[in-house]
Amino acid sequence: MDEKCRYLVLNIQMQYKARTILVLYARGYKKDAERWIRSQSGNGIFKYVFNMKEFATWVNKGNL
């Protein structure tokens, strides 16, 4: 697993004060990294992980 992914998730969980949504925009990440980051969401402050299409659909349904 990429250390940047671990650091990002740990930083969100330990330092962020507001509920957090992560939007994966580019394709510069490995599928294993995406799968791992998605598995970390839903606990505590780190609520969701979306790609751009998923995020647009979620927002258009009145979420956010």
Question: Per-residue pLDDT tens for 48-63?
Answer: 999 999 999 999 999 9
Residues 16, 60, 31: CA angle, nearest 5 degrees = 60
Tell me the C-alpha to C-alpha distance, in Å, between residue 26 and each of 1, 7, 34, 54.
18, 19, 11, 14
What percentage of the chain has pLDDT greater than the value 90? 72
Q: Is the pLDDT of residue 28 over 90?
A: no
Tell me the C-alpha to C-alpha distance, in Å, between residue 11 and each of 14, 39, 57.
5, 16, 27
pLDDT for the residue 3:
86
The number of distinct structural domains making up the chain is 1
Please answer whether residues 37 and 22 qualify as being in contact, where contact means their C-beta atoms are separated by less than 8 angstroms: yes
User: Which residues form the domain of 21?
Assistant: 3-60
